[in-house]
C-alpha cells in the first residue's frame, strides 16, 4: 500500500540527528519491510516552544498552505492509501493528516501520539485539542510504551490502540568484535543540552564520584550547546578517567559500544531510549533508572539493573555491583544481545506493523 508518512516534530530528512529522526527513519524501513510503499508527505515542522496563540495561528496558516498544495497534488496524481503520523504531541501537532485523511477518505494512523493534561494552557491547549481529535479519528494509535498508552487512553478512552515495542536495526551490530582491555569501560551516548539530558549528566557524574575507588574509564559520545557545562559537571573526576568523543557519525556508534563493558545512563525523562537498545545489541548490560519508558527496553536483573528515580546512591551501587562482577556483566550482556536481536529488530517490528495495519487499517499486503 502507498502510505503518506509525516513527522511534525522532525522530518526523517531533517539535517540534525536525534532519537526522533532515527525512529522516524526506522518506522519507514519497517513499513517498507512489511511490504508498503512510503512517501514523505510533507517536511512541514509544527514544533514550537512558543505557547502563544499568535504562534499557533501562524503554524495553522502555514499548515493551510501545505494542505492546499497536497490537495492539488493528490487530485492530480491520486491520493495515498493511508496517512501515517509519527509523534504528534502538544508542541508538534499534526495539522495536516486528519483533515486530508477525512477529505480523501483514507485511514489516519498515529504512532507515539501523547497527551498531557497539565499542558492544557495557552495555545498548547489548542495544539492538544488537535492531537486529541486526531487520536479519536485514527484507525489506530500505535503506542511504544504502556506508560504512553495509559496516558493517551485516559484522555481519549474511545480511541483505538495497539502496541509496538521500541526497536532498532540490528544489522550494524551483527558482526561486532570487542577489543579487550584491562580496565572496565563505561559508555554513555547522549546529546549535551539543557533539561532532561543535563539532569542525567549531573546524576551520572555524582554517581561516578561514589565509585572512583574502582578501576574504570568513561567514554562519552555526544555534543551540543551545553558541552561546556557538561565538562564542568565532570571536573571533579580524574581527567584520565574520561574520554570525550564528541559527536561521531552514526555508523561509528556500534564499534564504540562493542568496546564497552557497561552502559551507564540515568535516563531522566527518557521516553524509552533507543541508545539502550543499541548498547544491548552490542552485548552491553545497562544501568539506568526505573523511570518513564526505560523499563520497556531494559529488563531489570536480566539485561541490566534499574534503580529508583532520583536515587544517586542506588545508581552508584548498581554500577559498583556490575563493575565488581565480570561474570554477571557477561551474563546480562548475553541476554541483552539475544533480547534485542530476537524481539526488538526491524523484522520483528515489520511483522508487528503488518499485523496492526491489517487488523485496524485493512491494509494487509
Task: Please report, in angstroms and rounded to a whole number, the separation of the first and last CA atoms in the chain.
Answer: 7
Residue 179 above 70 pLDDT? Answer: no
Find out whether 124 and 88 touch, Cβ atoms under 8 Å: no
CA distance linking residue 338 with residue 125, whole number of Å: 43
CA distance linking residue 230 with residue 252, whole number of Å: 22
Torsion of CA 325, 328, 332, 335, to 10 degrees: 150
Residues 93-136: pLDDT tens digits? 999 999 999 999 999 999 999 998 888 888 889 999 999 999 99
pTM of the model: 0.88
Give the model's confidence band at 288: pLDDT under 50 very low, under 70 low, under 90 confident, else very high. Answer: very high
Residues 223-277: pLDDT tens digits? 999 999 999 999 999 999 999 999 998 889 999 999 999 999 999 988 878 999 9
Amino acid at each position: 500500500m502507498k502510505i503518506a508518512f509525516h513527522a511534525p516534530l522532525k522530518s526523517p530528512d531533517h539535517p540534525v540527528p536525534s532519537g526522533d529522526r532515527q525512529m522516524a527513519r526506522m518506522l519507514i524501513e519497517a513499513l517498507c519491510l512489511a511490504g508498503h510503499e512510503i512517501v514523505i508527505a510533507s517536511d512541514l515542522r509544527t514544533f514550537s516552544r512558543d505557547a502563544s496563540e499568535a504562534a499557533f495561528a501562524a503554524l495553522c496558516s502555514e499548515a493551510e498552505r501545505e494542505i492546499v498544495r497536497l490537495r492539488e497534488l493528490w487530485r492530480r496524481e491520486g491520493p495515498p492509501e493511508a496517512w501515517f503520523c509519527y509523534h504528534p504531541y502538544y508542541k508538534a501537532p499534526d495539522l495536516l493528516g486528519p483533515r486530508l485523511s477525512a477529505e480523501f477518505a483514507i485511514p489516519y494512523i498515529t504512532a507515539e501520539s501523547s497527551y498531557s493534561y497539565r499542558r492544557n494552557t495557552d495555545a498548547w491547549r489548542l495544539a492538544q485539542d488537535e492531537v486529541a481529535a486526531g487520536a479519536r479519528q485514527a484507525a489506530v494509535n500505535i503506542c511504544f510504551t504502556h506508560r504512553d498508552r495509559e496516558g493517551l487512553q485516559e484522555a481519549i478512552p474511545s480511541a483505538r490502540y495497539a502496541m509496538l515495542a521500541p526497536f532498532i536495526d540490528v544489522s550494524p551490530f551483527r558482526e561486532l568484535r570487542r577489543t579487550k582491555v584491562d580496565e572496565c569501560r563505561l559508555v554513555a551516548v547522549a546529546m549535551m543540552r539543557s533539561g532532561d539530558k543535563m539532569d542525567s549528566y549531573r546524576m551520572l557524574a555524582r554517581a561516578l564520584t561514589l565509585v572512583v575507588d574502582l578501576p574504570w574509564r568513561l567514554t562519552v559520545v555526544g555534543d551540543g550547546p551545553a558541552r561546556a557545562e557538561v565538562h564542568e559537571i565532570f571536573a571533579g573526576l580524574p581527567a584520565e578517567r574520561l574520554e570525550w568523543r564528541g559527536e561521531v557519525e552514526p555508523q561509528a556508534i556500534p564499534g564504540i559500544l562493542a568496546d564497552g563493558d557497561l552502559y551507564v545512563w540515568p535516563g531522566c525523562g527518557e521516553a524509552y531510549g533507543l541508545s539502550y537498545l543499541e548498547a544491548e545489541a552490542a552485548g552491553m548490560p545497562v544501568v539506568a533508572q526505573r523511570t518513564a519508558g526505560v523499563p520497556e527496553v531494559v529488563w531489570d536483573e536480566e539485561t541490566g539493573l534499574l534503580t529508583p528515580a532520583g536515587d544517586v546512591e542506588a545508581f552508584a551501587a548498581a554500577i559498583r555491583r556490575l563493575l565488581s562482577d565480570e561474570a554477571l556483566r557477561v551474563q546480562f550482556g548475553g541476554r541483552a544481545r539475544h533480547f534485542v536481536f530476537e524481539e526488538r529488530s526491524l523484522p520483528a517490528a515489520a511483522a508487528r506493523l503488518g499485523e496492526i495495519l491489517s487488523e485496524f487499517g485493512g491494509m494487509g499486503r
